[in-house]
Structure 1
Amino acid sequence: MQINPYLFILPRTPGQIVWDYKNHKQFELNLEYSTRLAQLINNPKLYDDSNRVDTQLLNSGILTHSIQDTIEWGWDELSKIFHIGTKNIPCEHVPQNIHEWSKHYLDHCTEVLAAPAPGTRLTELIALPKPSCLPQGSLANVLIGRKTCRTFTDAAVSLEDLGTLLYLSLGYLHERENDVDDCLVEGLDARRSSPSGGGLNACEGFLHVQNVSGLEPGFYAYHPVDHALSFVNPALDSPLGQLLCGQHFINNLPVGLFITSRFDKLWWKYEHSRAYRMAFVEAGHISQTFQLVATALGLNTWLTGALADDQVEALLGLEDSAEQPLFFVGCGKSDGQVMCEELKALLSSQELAQ
């Protein structure tokens, strides 16, 4: 008998909370169960099939018959608990097509909006000057032009545009090779367009290619040192939306980028849990840079943090790895609609029925 390795225990007088953070299950144990669990943690061989408490601990998943493989992570348990505990969003049913997704999403929004929204902060306001006139082609115009779209055409993205996107988002910029502080050690002197905690460049990128001129559909890893791709896995048999928690409106997105983080790089330099925050900050920087470059190239963008983590990790070759996917951003040609046609039709039918 073994103890589930994905547990943490919180004291909550008069008992304790045991959280199976991998499987999103929570249990409240009284003194009898807490005492027995402590005994079994000290010596799992004490497990007794005839003991009612022991069998209930086994049936709940707190105990397990087999040794479970644990993810390669490093020393930092606090960030590991948070990361694994927020993977694989628990849901009763993943939408299998765009119509199911539209109904599920609309029902969710209706439920949320039935409750009052959090209030705004009340404070004395100081008026600011209106923004000055923005020059054509400026960064400000790209910022204003960027928006999240949910309808994409079947038009291909060119390999040239893809190369520009990757170089300016994740590439090590040759234009900045001389812009390096003399005090930096070798290996920490690469410069991207986005800032990175400690200069580690801990984020990496994996492409999901569906329609890029000159590239076979499939999954590719981007190598910033060489500004090159390597093939990882063939294209999906199932639609892209299945990897993104049923968001099937995105099934024909021509190209997308899974942004991952090398946690082993973070722990190598920063041996404390706060380094984990920097992984998400860096992923956010890269996501925004990708979207701005795509917008400047005349492409529309979409992004999500809703991933079927286990499936994505398997397709990217990152199972039980210290490198983990955090975010997804994609681009392509679009009519600019922020709402898919199926959701619009559902809204219209509900309005007509009222």
Structure 2
Amino acid sequence: MQINPYLFILPRTPGQIVWNYKDHVQYELDLEYSHRLAQLISNPDSFDSRNTIDTHLLKAEILTAKKIDSPTWGWDDLSKIFHIGTQNIPNEHVPQNTHEWTRQYLQHCNEVLAKQAPDCRRSGNAPTELIELPAPCALTHSLNDALVQRKTCRSFTGTCILLSDVSSLLYLSLGYLNERHSDHGGSPPNLSARRSSPSGGGLNACEGFVLVQNVAGLEPGIYAYHSAEHALSRVNPLPDSALGQLLSGQHFINDLPLGLFITARFDRLWWKYGHSRAYRMAFVEAGHLSQTFQLVATALGMNTWMTGAFADTQVETLLNLEGCAEQPLFFVGCGESDGQAMCQEMRDLLDQGEHS
């Protein structure tokens, strides 16, 4: 007898939850069942077909008669649970044609809209005063040039950025585009906003917090960007310590005049999608927004740098997101640069190696 390799166990007083994360099935075990399962984990050969609990565990596929192969995995079990646990969306009936899909999807949307939608306001960051941004300007740079010229740099001058450029950058990457007001395809009002980047389910689940260090007309600090109003609200001053401490020691951020923390409103995703595969979509959307931000920044004559390595707890505190359903996923910044992909310290170290 074998223990199913796709299980994790959660303590839930007065029992425990055994979750088969591959098949998306969970069972609640009382003390007697939990104790017996612990014995079988210690010695699967102690399985007794006359024992009712053993046969129940076998029927539930917590135990298996044959060994189930588990793929080789190079990271920890948590990442494996995430990847496998978000595979294969449960679907009782796969639509056989577009007509069936349309009816099924429309029914799903009607069920979603019948539920209370998430509050449009962001928890912990209700603005007391909005800072209006200048009207964004149309870009004259070609998409081809922006794609070719975009590069990741780690050496920035800290030179001041114009507020008009910040306005264009935020509007074209995170703003709700006025030019597409009529392009909603019959969507309900709370799903009609359109950005330049795609969003799962049209939810626009990602938001942005702007880190300002040197922008003309704005005090240094952290600001929430409000897409619908194309405006900012002040959230916090900059921390006293070097910003690189927040980003796992990546002190390239210290000389960035402008940065953006991309966050995800999980409550918006929970509202429409009950399956945890939607968690993947949060990161996909953050990736879309990051690339758009970088292309727009490049078209405005700036270089960019991005990272997903940061101290989540500290960043959540800085953004006033502790305990919220909105969480930081990614950081991207921009400014004037000498165009070097490596910081000067890395170049010096490599030069020393060449001459040693």
> TM-score if structure 2 supplies the norm length?
0.62
Residue in structure 2 matching 1:204, options 202, 207, 210: 207
- Amino acid across the alignment from 1:149: C
Aligned residue for 1:161?
Answer: 165
Indicate if the aligned counterparts of 2:199 and 2:285 stay in contact, CA closer than 8 A.
yes
Identity %: 67
Indicate if the aligned counterparts of 1:151 and 1:250 stay in contact, CA closer than 8 A.
no
Indicate if the aligned counterparts of 2:142 and 2:299 stay in contact, CA closer than 8 A.
no
Residues 287, 37 of structure 1: CA spacing in aligned structure 2 closer, same or farther, 3 A cutoff? farther
Residues 342, 37 of structure 1: CA spacing in aligned structure 2 closer, same or farther, 3 A cutoff? farther
Work out whether 1:286 is the aligned partner of 2:289: yes
Aligned residue for 2:136?
Answer: none
Residue 179 of structure 2 aligns to a residue whose secondary structure is helix
Displacement of 1:138 after TM fit? 2.6
* 1:272-306 Cα distance to aligned partner (Å, 9 max, x none): 01111110110000000000000000011000000
Work out whether 1:323 is the aligned partner of 2:326: yes
C-alpha separation in 2, matches of 1:316 and 1:272: 28
Residue 148 of structure 2 aligns to a residue whose secondary structure is helix
Unaligned ranges ≥5, structure 2: 12-30, 36-77, 84-139
Residue 251 of structure 1 aligns to a residue whose secondary structure is helix
Displacement of 1:17 after TM fit? 8.0
Displacement of 1:82 after TM fit? 4.7
C-alpha separation in 1, matches of 2:343 and 2:33: 51
- Amino acid across the alignment from 1:235: L
Residue in structure 2 matching 1:172, options 170, 176, 180: 176
Residues 17, 175 of structure 1: CA spacing in aligned structure 2 closer, same or farther, 3 A cutoff? closer
Residues 37, 254 of structure 1: CA spacing in aligned structure 2 closer, same or farther, 3 A cutoff? farther
- Amino acid across the alignment from 2:263: T
Indicate if the aligned counterparts of 2:308 and 2:331 stay in contact, CA closer than 8 A.
yes
Unaligned ranges ≥5, structure 1: 1-10, 21-34, 40-77, 84-135
Residue 191 of structure 1 aligns to a residue whose secondary structure is coil
Residue 189 of structure 2 aligns to a residue whose secondary structure is coil
Q: How does 1:1-354 map to 2 (within 5 A)?
A: 38=34, 82=82, 137-182=141-186, 184-353=187-356
Aligned residue for 1:96?
Answer: none
Displacement of 1:19 after TM fit? 9.9
Displacement of 1:249 after TM fit? 2.7
C-alpha separation in 1, matches of 2:199 and 2:212: 26
Residue 187 of structure 1 aligns to a residue whose secondary structure is helix
* 1:202-233 Cα distance to aligned partner (Å, 9 max, x none): 00000111111111111110001111001111
> TM-score if structure 1 supplies the norm length?
0.63
Residue 151 of structure 1 aligns to a residue whose secondary structure is coil
Indicate if the aligned counterparts of 1:202 and 1:262 stay in contact, CA closer than 8 A.
yes
C-alpha separation in 1, matches of 2:220 and 2:338: 23
Residue 246 of structure 2 aligns to a residue whose secondary structure is helix
C-alpha separation in 1, matches of 2:194 and 2:224: 19
C-alpha separation in 2, matches of 1:250 and 1:221: 19
